[in-house]
Amino acid sequence: MDICQFCSKKSPAVTKLDPDELKILGDSCVEVAFSKGDIIFKQNALSSNVIFIKEGLVKIHVAGPEKEQILKVSKGPTYLGIPTTFGDKINHYSATALVPTSVCFIDINVFKEFIKINSDFAYEVIVDLCKDELNQFERCVNLVQKQIHGRLCGTLLYFSEDIFQSDFIEMPLNRNELADLICTSRETVSRLLSELNKEQIIQISGKRIKLLDMDKLKQISLKG
DNA sequence: GCATTAACCACAG
DNA sequence: CTGTGGTTAATGC
């Protein structure tokens, strides 16, 4: 099969593979379609695949000591399970589809082999992991040092800029999940959203959120 | 003290 | 699943 060779959603790493390697990847790769709410992989389960989100939106989450914690929301195309696949035998987090999502499961041994024989591939994988770690560091500082107004507005901006590339958000998380993402309670999320709505900074109708006053949002996001 | 922040509980759509 | 109101604990002038 040549499913990988002609795929338009190649990761930067995979663009460094030659046709033979692409064929090997294609032969070992399985593409699966998930619906909204489906679990792609589960915390504490054995993992033997690198996961690549070809298209869609996914939340990465862990069952923390106190409650559920959403680590991040990521949009395809992107790798997703590299740390959890290479870092340990079992998954340290779960991944759940937030919208219809198409996922490639890549055999870990094939992936390992590419890292060994193709340094450009390996380099791109490292770049990917580094970028992600930088993002997580930033998120960590924001979570710890910003107040809730800042965290929520920052999250709205993230969805607007990085996920939807639009000032209109079709929020895929409910209020509870939003709270789990920014470490607060669902009541607080509700309250703050209606406050922002009242102040004409955003416009809410259920899951649809329109960002009206970008400058205000950025300001609140910054000063926390 | 007094104000602010945000969590928890309860209850109603 | 959401939005609100009341209560309360912690923290900062």
> In a structure prediction context, what are the per-residue pLDDT tens digits for chain A, which is 224 residues long?
557 877 888 888 888 888 888 888 988 889 999 999 999 999 999 988 999 999 999 999 999 888 999 999 999 799 987 888 888 889 999 999 999 999 999 999 999 999 999 999 999 999 999 999 999 999 999 999 999 999 999 999 999 999 999 999 999 999 999 999 999 999 999 999 999 999 999 999 989 999 999 999 999 998 76
The residue with tokens 């959203």 is: A193
Query: What nucleotide is nearest A177 when CA is compared to C1'?
Result: C1
Six-digit token string for A24 = 């090997």
Query: What nucleotide is nearest A147 when CA is compared to C1'?
Result: B5
One-letter amino acid for residue A95 of the chain: A
Positions of strand C less than 7 angstroms from a protein CB: 1-6
Could you tell me if A54 and A32 are in contact, meaning their C-beta atoms sit under 8 angstroms apart?
no
Same fold, A14-118 and A144-223: no
Query: What nucleotide is nearest A198 when CA is compared to C1'?
Result: C3
Q: Report the protein residue whose CA lies nearest the C1' of nucleotide B5.
A: A147
**DSSP single-letter state for residue A16:** G
Exposure of A222 in the CB half-sphere (CA atoms within 13 A) = 6
| Structure confidence at residue A115 (pLDDT) | 93
Provide the CATH number for the domain formed by A144-223 in this structure.
Answer: 1.10.10.10
| Structure confidence at residue A2 (pLDDT) | 58
Q: Report the protein residue whose CA lies nearest the C1' of nucleotide C3.
A: A190
Domains of chain A, residue spans = 14-118, 144-223
Q: Would you put residue A56 in left (φ > 0), alpha (ψ -120 to 50) or beta?
A: left
- Domain spanning A14-118, CATH class: mainly beta
Distances (CA, A) of A191 to A66, A111, A169, A178, A180: 23, 46, 18, 13, 15
Could you tell me if A104 and A43 are in contact, meaning their C-beta atoms sit under 8 angstroms apart?
no
List the beta bridge partners of residue A102: A33, A55
| Structure confidence at residue A5 (pLDDT) | 78
Give the list of residues 6+ apart from residue A155 with CB closer than 8 angstroms, or none: A178, A181, A182
CA of A154 to C1' of C12 (A): 25
| Structure confidence at residue A183 (pLDDT) | 96
Q: Report the protein residue whose CA lies nearest the C1' of nucleotide B6.
A: A188
Give the list of residues 6+ apart from residue A187 with CB closer than 8 angstroms, or none: none
Query: What nucleotide is nearest A190 when CA is compared to C1'?
Result: C3
